[in-house]
Structure 1
Amino acid sequence: MVLAVVVGAGSGAGSVVFRWCIQTFTRLFSGHADYAAAPGTSNPHVPWLGPYFVLLAPVAGGLMYGPLVNRFAKEARGHGVPEVMLAVAQRGGRISPKVAVVKTLASALTIGSGGSVGREGPIVQIGSALGSTLGRMSKVTEGRLKLLVACGAAGGIAATFNAPLAGVFFAMELILGTFSAEAFGATVLASVTASVIGRAAFGNAVFLHLPDFHIDHLAQYGLIALLGVVAAVVGVGFSRFLYLIEDACDWVWRGPEWLRPAVGGLALGLVLLALPEMYGVGYPVLQKATQGGYAVGFLLLLLVGKMLATSLTIGIGGSGGVFAPSLFIGAMLGSAYGTGVHHLLPQSAGAVGAYALIGMGAVFAGAARAPITAVVILFELTGEYSIILPLMLAIVLATAASRLLAHDTIYTLKLRRRGIDLEGPARGAWIGGQRVSAVMDPLPSPLPASTTLADAADLLRLSGHGALPVIDGSGAYVGVVTAQAVAEALAEQPDAAPSLVGQLAELPTPVQADQPLALALHALLSAAGTGVPVLDPDNGKPVGWLSHQNALRAVHTAA
């Protein structure tokens, strides 16, 4: 608990420093606090260049952060969240402390010089690096180290967006990939601590101000559901386009990596010259779009422009997040969609700004497939509860449609392209690559579902296993009963407790004989007992038993 509070405080302070760096470099390169609020104007530092200074700003920024990243921390390049996910999944939560410093400077320089990326990816990586460093200095266990990494991510999101709940769910849904009481408690402490520091520095104002929104016609739910599906297509398309441009940049560039951001900055400068609204994160443009300040055609141009500018910024070696760009793209999509349906159905369509907010959450959910985070963060960013039902509907549909369209998210796709599967065996790991069939034990004698609890207690005691498979009267596998479940049932009053094993049997996550051991370990670690049945992939019948001892035995196989 103490370490979680300290990590939260560090993440909150890191967020304040990071925001200050962004503002400082933005003023240095553009002469404005946020150039997206005054697109197309000249830089007062070099007024003789007029709006053409945007051709040189990304080049100058690239000359500064390119050598910095290449020399000190190559993992600071890109959007940051996949590296944190990898550190938790396969590296025991270990992140180099250099990342916090290099990521702060590189991302602030990227955004300040016109890079069209977000600040959430960098602050997640910065906070996570702080948590990892503190955990290793305190010599905590690997499980606690991973939790401190998640606390750093939660604190960073909470302080940056003034969204403490969103920070918690972001950390658990995307970084840890699991929910537990301990993880929730620790990340809440970190998130609250970071939020207090963030609010002291940035204030407590909501991120967006939207018009009142009410569902007056059932037809609005149909319109919102359709927007959710369209947003999923756009979110997945953004993911694919991002890496398509990155591949194109890799194919074109043949020079030293430290020079790549500066040379690529010329291409980014041309995009900014044609569409200066793409400069930096772009929150003023997003706010204006939610207020209906743009025509439909220009909204669609901004949508495509953001995809191109963000992809190009990442492709040339820039450092920044993709969360804020996905919100921007969703806002443009939602505003265009809302304006269109408002013209077609003026009496029942509702406020255009509400569709912008729904589009923001749905596109992020379609790209990142994190529905809980999407719902919570959009609610916290706006403080608008009246929109929660349609927002939930669109986000759930966007998540479901995204799963049908693509296997990977915008975060995991980056890792898979490098040959890394977060659910598969880690490279060079002693355990993980073996097949389950190579390490499993023979199947213990199953318990008939009609076995009484007293008899089951004796059989479980004699078996040497903390759990046994259960079969019904026809011999079909129905689940697993654990010693803990039987003991708890025997401790209840006889007239209220189950009397037969079949009433206590539960189906664990299926483990198949032809699976890699790395995938099966996820099911084994989440199982209630000390082992799980191994199923035949053809007929689904139990053919073996996998326990923690089996997994350790695989070390000798690997050796």
Structure 2
Amino acid sequence: MGLLVVLYRLGISYGTQFATATYAWLRDNPLWIAVWAMAAVAAGLFVAWLIRWEPMASGSGIPQTEGVATRGMRMRPWSILVVRYAGGLLCGLFGLSMGREGPSVQIGAATSQATGGRLAHGQVDRNALITSGAAAGLSAAFCAPLSGAMFALEEIHRSFSPTILLTAMSASLTSDFVAKYCFGLRPVLNFATIRQLPLAQYWWLVPLGIATGVVGVLTNRLLLGLQTLMSHVPAMARPIISLAVALPCGMLLPLTLGGGENLIAFVEQGGAGIGLLFALLIVKMLFTATSFASGAPGGIFMPILAVGAITGGLVATLGGSLSSLIDGQNGFGELTARLAIDPQYMAVFAAIGMAGTLAAATKAPITSILLIVEMSGNITHMLPVAACVLIALFVADLCNTKPIYEVLLDRYRAGHPDNAGTADAEPTAIRSGVIEYPVEIGSTMAGSTVGTVPLPDGMMIITIRRGSHDFVPNPGSVVLAGDYVVVLFSGKTEDTARSALADLCHAN
């Protein structure tokens, strides 16, 4: 899994470099744009055909992986790998604003299912292997093993099962070793030398948290809104539209091409004006939403991080200009100079902004904190990062923002009632009529007695696992948040039973 993700990561990186050089050449040789347009149309049609052949490989891949692990959805691993590499790398050559993390997660999950599925003794084991593969994919994509394991628990499996923790951590560490062997020990984002934010300037975390929360919410709404809008466009034309948008972006603002690593490095260095940063923010958000809405195989994790870095850079730049705007007026010059942000802290504001924006858009705060800490290679920034994430998450909750991957999963399932990648996918064999599921805080089942839980006909709770203690419940037993319920089902297919249980156990 680690090796496959490393190859994908290298392909995307070289593809972005090729796209940047190509658009620079087209800017100097505009007559060749016609040739580029014909190539873009051909590539768009090919990508659209790949997506139609294997719908499970469209878009990010994280919602589909979550659906397989928790909702009983099915995927054909080999066809997903083909589409992820062929379609994803082709889109990378044109510089679409898409990340590598979502495809890496699905590549890891698909590889795990293809190679380890036959070794599993039941559906619970198969789901654990798939979740571990997803964790390994994210770990190799960012050289972040802790984030990979936490993402598997927080977003994919949605519970802190000891089994999942052990398998996901083992897979993440192994995958991270492979990635570090290939790319070296240097952090993905070389933030290791940035200064610590002084305590006197911690008050800036409040406006920064609010700003990243608002931008994260807007990014969430924009991605979902453009996806809805693009659904009214013929499927074969959607990738062509996103490739057409890449041309002006690549020629005028090449920093917006690809996932956004070059853009993050640019913001970290400082020196950019407010106007340029604002233009980069707007273009990156629109370009990412257009690329994602086309259904092209690519992720949104890295572009959201880039948007967050720009937001942090904007706040730092505005804060740095505070002293020049008010200096010397009404005797507040000295106080203002102390409160203003020194340019040397631009990098830390960019890193903190990345975490806040990602948390607000995905509603995965723990993963957001750990990811930035691991990507920067410095744990000293955890306190300001965590503070900004909590404020941004509060803003997202005030705006009633739903986790984007959860919404995308619901949309995929609504568009594919059979819950399969293709119409001819074979159903998973049921070896046991028993499902184990975690009960989340705020779910329908949490706080209810067993006798009042509205289980469909043919389903019955036979065991409740509370910590290290298992017991057989009676109708008056109360199901608590954090419990694991073991449900016996009959007369239903496994995916139907799992879907019904997920609706009862997931937070409303």
TM-score by length of structure 2 reads 0.78
Is 1:356 paired with 2:389? Answer: no
Evaluate the alpha carbon distance shift between residue 381 and residue 58 of structure 1 in structure 2; reply closer, same or farther with a 3 A threshold: farther
Match of 2:369 among 369, 375, 380: 375
Decide whether the 8 Å contact of 1:509 with 1:523 is kept in 2.
Answer: no
- What is the correspondence of 1:115-194 to structure 2 with a 5 Å cutoff? 115-194=96-175
Question: What's the CA shift for 1:93?
Answer: 6.9
CA distance in 1, matches of 2:479, 2:260: 55
Is 1:13 paired with 2:7? Answer: no
Is 1:216 paired with 2:205? Answer: no
Partner of 1:453: none
CA distance in 2, matches of 1:300, 1:54: 29
Partner of 2:448: 511
Decide whether the 8 Å contact of 1:291 with 1:352 is kept in 2.
Answer: yes
Deviations 1:148-201 (A, max 9, x none): 111111111111211111111111111111113222221121111111111121
> Which one-letter code corresponds to 1:115 in the other structure?
L
Evaluate the alpha carbon distance shift between residue 118 and residue 58 of structure 1 in structure 2; reply closer, same or farther with a 3 A threshold: farther
Question: What's the CA shift for 1:363?
Answer: 0.4
Partner of 1:232: 213
CA distance in 2, matches of 1:271, 1:216: 37
Match of 2:85 among 104, 118, 121: 104
Decide whether the 8 Å contact of 1:93 with 1:149 is kept in 2.
Answer: no
- What is the correspondence of 1:379-418 to structure 2 with a 5 Å cutoff? 379-418=373-412
Question: What's the CA shift for 1:207?
Answer: 2.2
Match of 1:339 among 302, 317, 320: 317
Evaluate the alpha carbon distance shift between residue 394 and residue 26 of structure 1 in structure 2; reply closer, same or farther with a 3 A threshold: closer
Structure 1, unaligned runs of 5 or more: 1-10, 430-507
Deviations 1:306-332 (A, max 9, x none): 111011112223111010011001000
CA distance in 1, matches of 2:241, 2:212: 34
CA distance in 2, matches of 1:221, 1:552: 53
Evaluate the alpha carbon distance shift between residue 152 and residue 269 of structure 1 in structure 2; reply closer, same or farther with a 3 A threshold: same
Evaluate the alpha carbon distance shift between residue 31 and residue 235 of structure 1 in structure 2; reply closer, same or farther with a 3 A threshold: closer
Partner of 2:326: none
- What is the correspondence of 1:204-283 to structure 2 with a 5 Å cutoff? 204-210=185-191, 212-218=194-200, 220-251=201-232, 253-254=233-234, 257-283=235-261
Q: Which moved more, 1:339-348 or 1:389-398?
A: 339-348
> Which one-letter code corresponds to 1:101 in the other structure?
V
Evaluate the alpha carbon distance shift between residue 532 and residue 322 of structure 1 in structure 2; reply closer, same or farther with a 3 A threshold: farther
> Which one-letter code corresponds to 2:47 in the other structure?
Y
Structure 2, unaligned runs of 5 or more: 323-335, 421-426, 429-444, 498-508
Question: What's the CA shift for 1:54?
Answer: 7.1
Question: What's the CA shift for 1:406?
Answer: 2.4
Decide whether the 8 Å contact of 2:267 with 2:309 is kept in 1.
Answer: yes
Decide whether the 8 Å contact of 1:524 with 1:531 is kept in 2.
Answer: yes
Partner of 2:46: 64
Evaluate the alpha carbon distance shift between residue 522 and residue 418 of structure 1 in structure 2; reply closer, same or farther with a 3 A threshold: farther
Decide whether the 8 Å contact of 1:531 with 1:547 is kept in 2.
Answer: no
Q: Which moved more, 1:184-193 or 1:81-90?
A: 184-193
Is 1:529 paired with 2:467? Answer: no
Evaluate the alpha carbon distance shift between residue 359 and residue 17 of structure 1 in structure 2; reply closer, same or farther with a 3 A threshold: same
Higher relative contact order (CA 8 A, sep 6+): 2
Question: What's the CA shift for 1:58?
Answer: 4.5
Percent identity for Structure 1 against Structure 2: 27
- SS of residue in 2 equivalent to 1:79: coil
Decide whether the 8 Å contact of 1:530 with 1:547 is kept in 2.
Answer: no
Deviations 1:484-508 (A, max 9, x none): xxxxxxxxxxxxxxxxxxxxxxxx9
Aligned length: 444
Of structures 1 and 2, the larger Rg is shown by 1
> Which one-letter code corresponds to 2:446 in the other structure?
T
CA distance in 1, matches of 2:183, 2:8: 12
Deviations 1:436-493 (A, max 9, x none): xxxxxxxxxxxxxxxxxxxxxxxxxxxxxxxxxxxxxxxxxxxxxxxxxxxxxxxxxx
Evaluate the alpha carbon distance shift between residue 309 and residue 264 of structure 1 in structure 2; reply closer, same or farther with a 3 A threshold: closer
Question: What's the CA shift for 1:266?
Answer: 2.1
Question: What's the CA shift for 1:369?
Answer: 1.2
- SS of residue in 1 equivalent to 2:303: helix
Evaluate the alpha carbon distance shift between residue 310 and residue 174 of structure 1 in structure 2; reply closer, same or farther with a 3 A threshold: same
CA distance in 1, matches of 2:485, 2:356: 41
CA distance in 1, matches of 2:20, 2:282: 26
Question: What's the CA shift for 1:140?
Answer: 3.0
- SS of residue in 2 equivalent to 1:531: coil
Q: Which moved more, 1:526-535 or 1:125-134?
A: 526-535
Partner of 2:12: 22
TM-score by length of structure 1 reads 0.71
> Which one-letter code corresponds to 1:66 in the other structure?
A
Decide whether the 8 Å contact of 2:142 with 2:375 is kept in 1.
Answer: yes
Partner of 1:478: none
